[in-house]
Amino acid sequence: MLEDLKRAVCQANVELAACGLVTLTWGNVSGISQDRKLVVIKPSGVPYDQLQPEHLVVVDLDGQVVEGTLRPSSDTPTHVLLYKHFAGIGGITHTHSRHATMFAQARREIPCLGTTHADHFFGTVPVTRPLTAAEVAAGYERNTGQVIIERFAGLDPRTMPAVLVAGHAPFTWGKDAADSVKNSIALESVAEMAVGTWVLNPQAQLLEEYVLNKHYERKHGPNPEYGQK
Amino acid sequence: MLEDLKRAVCQANVELAACGLVTLTWGNVSGISQDRKLVVIKPSGVPYDQLQPEHLVVVDLDGQVVEGTLRPSSDTPTHVLLYKHFAGIGGITHTHSRHATMFAQARREIPCLGTTHADHFFGTVPVTRPLTAAEVAAGYERNTGQVIIERFAGLDPRTMPAVLVAGHAPFTWGKDAADSVKNSIALESVAEMAVGTWVLNPQAQLLEEYVLNKHYERKHGPNPEYGQK
Amino acid sequence: MLEDLKRAVCQANVELAACGLVTLTWGNVSGISQDRKLVVIKPSGVPYDQLQPEHLVVVDLDGQVVEGTLRPSSDTPTHVLLYKHFAGIGGITHTHSRHATMFAQARREIPCLGTTHADHFFGTVPVTRPLTAAEVAAGYERNTGQVIIERFAGLDPRTMPAVLVAGHAPFTWGKDAADSVKNSIALESVAEMAVGTWVLNPQAQLLEEYVLNKHYERKHGPNPEYGQK
Amino acid sequence: MLEDLKRAVCQANVELAACGLVTLTWGNVSGISQDRKLVVIKPSGVPYDQLQPEHLVVVDLDGQVVEGTLRPSSDTPTHVLLYKHFAGIGGITHTHSRHATMFAQARREIPCLGTTHADHFFGTVPVTRPLTAAEVAAGYERNTGQVIIERFAGLDPRTMPAVLVAGHAPFTWGKDAADSVKNSIALESVAEMAVGTWVLNPQAQLLEEYVLNKHYERKHGPNPEYGQK
């Protein structure tokens, strides 16, 4: 079942590792079926260079395994909850990529300091609040999804496809698995450049709002000028 | 038409990506024909590893497509304007390379702190002013070229083949497409070393002017001592 | 003798170099036999790309060579002493990996700032005291092991598989040679992210203790949720 | 003539580039003949991946070309002067490696902060004074050698095989060309770790002198414990 989606999600996991965003097995990509009923996700702890489409695990929106002999990523309940609440996203990537994780650990948001950021993230990349002890005890991975959703009150996940979980690491999403990987790559780069920008100028100003609008719109607006039609 | 130029510009784009200066598709190289009437440029959003000479787009100096089925880079109006105003440059490279972009985002110029800089850039690498809202609305990419040209009043683009656009990223140029890529590589390295130099010594002094002159002249002067005759 | 162990330790040394944790020949991996009587270790100063299982040296728990024509790593007395005192560890890795070594040189411990750390190290990664002149004179490498053991009074080497030797560099260990290499990789990544976290936020807080417990337990507890059964 | 030396120096130049210490063509390695009358050096501006032993240039100790159709490195007068004054060195490497160059630009010496440093450099890596305008005018490259020699008054080039030229970049040397490349690799690593050590602890202390002595001696003393006999 879902052979095309498995192939796409497998390929996205392999690309994620090839891009240098993953150390050891600290990362996973998932994708959701077109009817939004089933999620295909990386099995837990399996090295990327051995990953084959048939290793991927299919789970339903309660996180129950529907197909697959391997255990799904331990982060599966987070992925599933995000699919449930963020209409229109087709893929999710979780990494511990170095600079984005520095921001998550520092519990600082990433403001838009330049057009590289504006090309991918429409405004400040948010950080969640930390989970409470009760939330960790009652379902850590599910509640990780819950604090992300809570943080996105008033934010549009389609124009802000990334979040930093406080003390943990980033999640990104996109229209499909490959697109969510692209956003992880963009986030890591934007995070690295933000660190260096502040080293050079601790008072670095935000990108002018009209430039942010222009860059985001020319790439993601209804009539994009970027890429091929 | 322009088969040799297309091959050279294609090769320069591929090299740019191979040098690690480009993330995703954030970069493009162009070259101008010998009669300075036509510009060959990368198509927008096409991955470097799939780029073939026949994909390149030919535009005139008004930025109108003369040949090619793909859309040219969204930065085309910037390239075209620079070719019009900077006599003698044959190639232009735009990247979001990490350390040069940090300077652009910090809106700090890169002073000459050592001979590596002096070997390529004759003095301080300048930053433009930000564009106004009206300039962004009236033709963002063209006006990006305009603020570069404005910043170069009193500067010679032949001895200063690089600029940082405030809040955005660098542009470099050279005698041809390959040479403009070399200047992007040099700029990124010089920017990275400047960040570290200031971490080690926030009061780091400028390179002595007579050493700057010596290094620049021995490589780019009328009678260079560097390289082969 | 010990052909399987030699192959495993050889492979772990090769992987260590492949992971970018080693410059020149600054690193070595060892493993101990199942009866805990013999240690297999890298020969001193031999490049990793030429290393074959038959080059590995077998020493006893007094550090005396039992088999092998090459000299063992100069750090052998440190490895041997750790095997004697840390029950249950099967492999040891020593590197001068860049960020972990920065911490060792700065003589700062690495507190748990995030879940990446919590997934591998149960609390603060400790730094030893410096050796005295008398200790250096009386058996430098053996006493390097001694100050590590002294520092671990009250610490459990099974939940804290890493140490920073003051002014020197890290040692990590694990259930076998390959596992000790993984811990070196994790330590280097955690160290790099800690440096950046403090650049972003010098007052960055510790990870909540209940999150540390959760992450460590779900990976290393009696009933792990991570990886495959 | 000098076919073996040419092969060794060619190979050392190729390795230098392979180690990531060189950007564009910013680096060169030379070696001296056993009778110390002729120096083999990289030709100026030739890419490393095209370098063949027959491209190397042979010069005498006045820097005059004795054999070869290509121009020697513009740094040849510096190399030649060092060979004349530093008895016993057989190879010299010049790079603009990033972190060592940051120190040269910051005009800060690299004190011994750890055993990695002690394994290769017996004490503080020195910085030269800047050249005067008159020295630059009268023979820049030769006087670069002169200020290095001046700075080494009271220092032994055999135990301190590296120098930082103020505002410029490092030179290293060794018993032959390959050994001088190793010292460039070690210097770059030591420089990078020193930057990070100071970020973590601006008051980081020097390595205890008795540890410096122990590490240097066990590797370079009359009876080394490191490597194979």
* Closest alpha carbon to A106 in C195, C200, C115, C188: C200
For range D111-121, the mean pLDDT: 98
| Window 76-105 of A, Cβ < 8 Å to C | 96, 98-99, 101-105
Q: Give the list of residues 6+ apart from residue A130 with CB closer than 8 angstroms, or none.
A: A107, A147, A166, A167, C208, C211
Reported ipTM: the value is: 0.96
Check residue B61 and give its pLDDT.
96
With bands split at pLDDT 50, 70 and 90, how would you rate the model's confidence at D63? Answer: very high
Tell me which residues of chain C, numbers 201 to 220, contact chain D at a CB-CB cutoff of 8 Å.
none
Helix pair angle (C177-200, D177-200), 10° resolution: 50
**DSSP per-residue codes, D22-36:** -STT-EEEEEE-TTS
Number of residues in chain C: 229
> Annotated active-site positions of C, please?
119, 226
State pTM to two decimals.
0.97
pLDDT in tens, chain A (229 residues): 899 999 999 999 999 999 999 999 999 999 999 999 999 999 998 999 999 999 999 999 999 999 999 999 999 999 999 999 999 899 999 999 999 999 999 999 999 999 999 999 999 999 999 999 999 999 999 999 999 999 999 999 999 999 999 999 999 999 999 999 999 999 999 999 999 999 999 999 999 999 999 999 988 988 887 788 7
Distance to chain C for A117, nearest Cα, Å: 18
Cα gap C203→C223, rounded to integer Å:
35
Name the residue with tokens 């009760």: A134
Q: Do D133 and B210 touch (CB under 8 A)?
A: yes
Tokens of D61: 């100790």
Angle of helix C177-200 versus helix A98-106 axis, rounded to 10: 60
- Choose among B197, B188, B109, B203: nearest CA to D169: B197
Distance set, CA D127 to CA A106, C28, D159 (Å): 37, 33, 16
- pLDDT of residue D221 exceeding 90, the answer is no
Tens-place pLDDT, residues C114-128: 999 999 999 999 999
Alpha helices, H only, D31-175: 76-85, 98-106, 115-118, 133-151
* pLDDT (average), residues D103-114: 98
> For this structure, is B216 an active site residue?
no
Contact yes or no for D106/B200 (Cβ under 8 A): yes
DSSP line for B155-186 = --TTT--EEE-TTS-EEEEESSHHHHHHHHHH
> pLDDT value at position A225?
78
Share of chain D above pLDDT 90, in %: 92
8 Å CB contact of D200 and C195: yes
The 10s digit of each residue's pLDDT in A174-186 is: 999 999 999 999 9
Alpha helices in chain C (DSSP H): 3-18, 76-85, 98-106, 115-118, 133-151, 177-200, 209-220
Rounded to the nearest angstrom, the gap between the alpha carbon of residue B211 and the centroid of all alpha carbons in its chain is: 25
Whether residue A1 lies within 8 A of chain C, CB to CB, comes out as no
Going B63 to B69 to B74 to B75, the CA torsion angle's sign is negative
What's the confidence (pLDDT) of residue D32?
Answer: 98
Whole-number average pLDDT of chain C: 96
pLDDT over threshold 90, residue C222: no
- Pick among A56, A95, A102 to test the C interface (most C CBs inside 10 A): A102
**Which of C70, C74, C98 minimises the CB distance to D193?**
C98
User: b/e string for C9-40 if b means 16 or more Cβ within 10 A?
Assistant: bbbbbbbbbebebbbbbbbbbbbbbeeeebbb
Contact D169 B116 (CB under 8 A): yes
A104-138 b/e (C-beta count within 10 Å ≥ 16 → b): bbbbbebebbbbbbbbbbbbebbbbebbeeebbee
Question: Under the phi-then-psi rule, with left for phi > 0, alpha for psi from -120 to 50, and beta for the rest, what region is A227?
Answer: left
Q: Among B129, B203, B124, which residue's Cα sits nearest to residue B159? A: B124
**Regions of chain B where pLDDT drops below 70:** none
Contact between residue D42 and residue D56 where contact means Cβ atoms under 8 Å apart:
yes
Report CB contact under 8 Å: D26, B116. Answer: yes
Q: CA-to-CA distance for C151 and D109, rounded, in angstroms?
A: 33
pLDDT tier, C108 (very low <50, low <70, confident <90, very high otherwise): very high
Residue of B nearest to A113 (CA): B105
A193 contacts B98? CB cut-off 8 A: yes
Q: What is the nearest CA distance from A136 to chain B, expressed in angstroms? A: 36
Identify the burial level of C205 via C-beta atoms within 10 angstroms of its C-beta, where 0-12 means exposed, 13-18 middle and 19 or more buried. middle
**DSSP element (H, E) containing B116:** helix B115-118
Q: What is the per-residue pLDDT across D8-51, written as a single tens digit (0 to 9) for each?
A: 999 999 999 999 999 999 999 999 999 999 999 999 989 999 99
Does residue B49 sit at the D interface (CB-CB below 8 Å)? no
Are the beta carbons of D225 and C108 separated by less than 8 Å? no
Greater confidence (D210 vs A227) lies with D210
Q: How far apart are CA C12 and CA A96, in angstroms?
A: 24
Give the neighbours of chain D: at least 3 Cβ pairs within 8 Å. Answer: B, C
Catalytic residue among B119, B156, B176, B179: B119
Q: Mean per-residue pLDDT for C168-191?
A: 98
Q: Which chains touch A (3 or more CB pairs under 8 A)?
A: B, C
- Taking an 8 Å cut-off on Cβ atoms, the answer to whether B137 and A207 are in contact is no
What integer pLDDT is reported at residue C132 of this predicted model? 98
Supply C178's token pair. Answer: 């390959």
What is the C-alpha to C-alpha distance for residues D172 and B124, in angstroms, rounded to an integer? 29
Which of residues C126 and C221 earns the better pLDDT score?
C126
What pLDDT score was predicted for residue B186? Answer: 98
Is the CB of residue A40 less than 8 Å from the CB of residue A58?
yes
Token pair belonging to A180: 């969510």
Nearest chain A residue to C20 by CA distance is A23
* pLDDT tens column, B27-38: 999 999 999 999
What was the pLDDT predicted at D108? 98
